[in-house]
Structure 1
Amino acid sequence: MLPVRVPTPLPRGGRPGADREPRRGTRWRAILPPPGRWRRPLRELLLVVLLFAAYKLGRLLGAHHVEEAFANAGRLWDAERALRLPSEEDLQDWLLKLPPAVVAANVYYKYVHFPATALFLVWTYARRPWHYRWARTVLAVMTGVALAVHIAVPLAPPRMLSGLGFVDTAAVYGPGVYGPAHDDGMANQFAAMPSLHVGWAVFVAVSLILSTRTRWRWLWLAHPVVTLGVVVGTANHYWLDAAVALVILAVVMVVLRPPARPRRHPGRDRERLDHPDAAVPGSDKSTAPHAPVAA
């Protein structure tokens, strides 16, 4: 019997190969991620924006307590001297001997604080998702507590105490950070305590140390050390501002304990890479073909 060739039915549209032609819009669908993947990043971004807006609004509520802020600054200065803390003025005098270092400190103070924290959150979200939610929550709670202290205890920073010999380095050397001392609608300049510059920097360093494994991770501690020297040397904060920020951070981290690091099995992972068809140790399932069993 001769073989009979059955004709292949034509695809929709009546043209051979019509099913191989991409439909309109499929190229963009292949490039862009599915819509569902955008929901969580957008939700997190919206949450961070709302938290930042609430923080800025709360700071503005305490921006006009001038007399109380300067009175608290005098009390804090006396308390530091009673505690025999080193004078912030001594550190600034040393910094003022190096004008390029003063400008670098002002740049660090103005441009590193928020961008570094934002980059930390983005990197943690993308590379350490098991660590991200805890980090975001700790930052939000710490900032909320700091905001409450800002409102309850307005405090003029050292740069406003020219009678004690302090210099507003940002106003003199640039780049400028704030507007006029008593008429700035964008920020509460009487929110010196606690120092969120120091608090955020310490948390970013500690969080990166906890969530990474590289032997160089301890170098992240340089960020809060430099930040502390910058905020004090530029006369934007007192020593006790940093100390109070560290106390708040410590309490928040004790209450909100960091998540456990996911377990890794280097030997098992290497075996899976070398023998992808081998059975997984400790499992009764295997994708390798079974040998016939003799009867």
Structure 2
Amino acid sequence: MNARTEPAETEAEPGTPARPSLIREFLLVAGLFLVYKLGRQLATGHTADAFRNARHVWHLERSVHLPHETAVQSALLHGDTLVHLANTYYATVHFPATLAFLVWLYLRRPAHYVWARRVLAVLTTAALVLPFTFPLAPPRMLTGTGLVDTARIYGPSVYGPPSSDHLSNQFAAMPSLHFGWALMVAIGLMAATRSRRRGLWLLHPLVTLLVIVGTANHYWLDAIVATAMLGLALAVVPAPRRTATTAGRGTGLLKPRETVLAGAGR
């Protein structure tokens, strides 16, 4: 007599963590975004220091032979459509992409969600320290570099004049959380999925890097520092353990119990 088998999808995977409370997670994530915004606003001022540090960063990049930000911006300025798309990407993708990433993990990979949320919290908290200790004007504000403020000229722009902008701190260019969060989104999705094409998620931080540099909102060093901070956050936050379901998805591998049942049904 053949053994009766049930589809593997109908059985809960042993050891799968319970999904955190939705209300609690909503408050935690909302609090993370709020701390990010308020923390940057508290670090306002220090205009002279911000421009002095900007000159130091610019000359340091040239002394270590990093590519000129002007090379990326020149490529964007070949057409109004391209530069407008870059400005739109900068203005509209950062928060929604990160939020969509967290929502998907919460619904589909609870353990990876908790891990990613903790990593983002550590990265964001650490990033809020630098504007107090190292205020930095973005390259679009520097003169004599050949860079222009693409958002102001071509739109759309998320910033007003620094003197009257009370919603953000424009002298907090380092580190670039635009890039840090984008890189974590890619790393998190690569860790939570097993598709052979999951490396394509790295296109998100790559495009983000070209956008933040090409629009003159960040220096290369802003992204490098964000990467280093993310590396430290990943080192201190324990990664989730891979379950049999996650490990086998996309590879064609059967779980041990599925192998036994399949053999019993022959």
Structure 2 length as normaliser, TM-score?
Answer: 0.85
**Residue 71 (structure 2) pairs with residue 77 (structure 1):** no
Q: Which has the higher contact order (CA 8 A, sep 6+)?
A: 2
Any stretches of 5+ residues in structure 1 without a counterpart? 1-36, 279-295
State how far apart, in whole Å, the 2-side matches of 1:238 and 1:156 are: 10
- Choose which of 87, 106, 109 in structure 1 pairs with 2:68: 87
Deviation for aligned residue 1:130: 1.5
**How far apart are 1:269 and its partner, in Å?**
5.1
- Checking the alignment, whether the CA contact within 8 Å between 2:19 and 2:106 is kept in structure 1 is no
How far apart are residue 162 of structure 1 and its match?
A: 3.5
Residue in 1 that maps onto 2:80? 99
Cα offset, 1:182, TM superposition: 2.7
Q: Deviations over 1:209-237 (max 9, x none)?
A: 01101112111010000000000000000
1:121 corresponds to 2:88:
no
On the 8 A contact 1:160/1:181 being kept in 2, the answer is: no
Distance 1:186-1:115 versus aligned 2 partners, 3 A rule: same
Q: Residue by residue, what CA displacement relative to the aligned partner does 1:119-170 show, whole Å, maximum 9, x if unpaired?
A: 0000000000111111100000000000111221110001111332211111
SS at match of 2:244: coil
1:94 CA drift (Å): 2.0
CA RMSD of aligned residues (A): 2.1
* Bigger Cα Rg: 1
1:262 maps to which of 239, 243, 249: 243
Which amino acid letter does the alignment assign opposite residue 231 of structure 1?
Answer: I
Q: Which residue of 2 aligns with 1:173?
A: 154
What SS does the corresponding residue of 1:163 show, helix, strand or coil? coil
Indicate conservation of the 8 Å contact 2:19/2:110, yes or no.
Answer: no
Residue type of the alignment partner of 2:192: S
Please list every run of at least 4 consecutive aligned residues from structure 1 whose deviation after the TM superposition is greater than 3 angstroms.
Answer: 267-275
| Alignment coverage as a number of residue pairs | 241
Encode CA deviations 1:154-199: one digit per residue, 9 max, x unaligned: 1000111133221111111011110113321000011100000111
2:40 matched to 1:40? no
Letter paired with 2:77: L
1:184 aligns with 2:170: no
Residue 129 of structure 2 aligns to a residue whose secondary structure is helix
Partner Cα separation in structure 1 for residue 83 and residue 28 of structure 2: 36
CA pair 138-169 structure 1, distance change in 2 beyond 3 A: same
What is the distance in 2 between the residues matched to 1:224 and 1:38? 28
**Alpha-carbon distance in structure 2 between the residues aligned to 1:204 and 1:249:** 11
Paired with 1:100 and 1:192, the residues of 2 have a C-alpha distance of 26
Q: Which position in structure 2 is the counterpart of 1:248?
A: 229
Instruction: Check conservation: 2:178, 2:208, Cα contact below 8 A.
Output: yes
Q: Say if 2:123 is the partner of 1:142.
A: yes
Q: Is the 8 A contact 2:49 2:135 kept in 1?
A: yes
Q: Deviations over 1:38-92 (max 9, x none)?
A: 9810110011111221221111111222111101101111111111111111211
Q: Tell me the secondary structure at the aligned position of residue 136 of structure 2.
A: coil
Residue segments in structure 2 that go unaligned for 5+ positions in a row: 1-17, 249-253
What residue in structure 1 maps to residue 42 of structure 2? 61
Cα distance between partner residues in 2 of 1:106 and 1:46: 30
Normalised by the size of structure 1, how large is the TM-score? 0.77
Q: Tell me what 2:10 maps to.
A: none
Cα distance per residue 1:102-121 (max 9 Å; x no partner): 00000110100000000000
Tell me the residue number matched to 2:194: 213
